[in-house]
Amino acid sequence: MEISKSIFEEMEILRNACLLGAVMMALYDALRIFRRVVPHGTVWVSAEDVLYWLLFGTAVFLLLYRENDGALRAYIIGGTAAGMLFYYLLLGRWLVRRLSIYISKGKKRLKKLAKAVTIWLHKRFRN
């Protein structure tokens, strides 16, 4: 049995929508990790969220425009949501937790090293 060309094209669009969802969720996880490692206030968090959603909205719009002549289809939105969900369930929760821990530990080690170097320099070049 042969798959018609239009069904194959729609399957490609669905795949691209799923990939877009996964990539966008990965970018949001990078933002979440950044927020855990470098705490900052509500204003900056809000600004980051607005920029993220502008980027995400633009990416979805471009996907719709490029792949489907701008027509909004439920399977494209569903595919994007499915890609986000699959990424979150397979990698997202684990990745954010682990990377936040590793980066925080590295940050503490760098602070200790900087303190040790500062003390050494102070003793070495004290008048």
CA distance 30 to 101: 13
How many Cα atoms are found within 13 Å in the side-chain-facing hemisphere of 107?
11
CB 4 within 8 A of CB 66: no
CA distance 106 to 87: 26
CA distance 74 to 61: 14
Summarised one tens digit per residue, pLDDT across range 7-21 is 888 888 899 999 999
Domain boundaries, the chain: 5-100
Q: Tell me what percent of the residues of the chain surpass a pLDDT of 90.
A: 35
pTM beyond cutoff 0.85: no
Summarised one tens digit per residue, pLDDT across range 86-111 is 999 998 888 888 887 888 888 888 88
- Per-residue DSSP letters for the chain? ----HHHHHHHHHHHHHHHHHHHHHHHHHHHHHHHHHS---HHHHHHHHHHHHHHHHHHHHHHHHHHHTT---HHHHHHHHHHHHHHIIIIIHHHHHHHHHHHHHHHHHHHHHHHHHHHHHHHHT--
The token duo for 39 is 């705490």
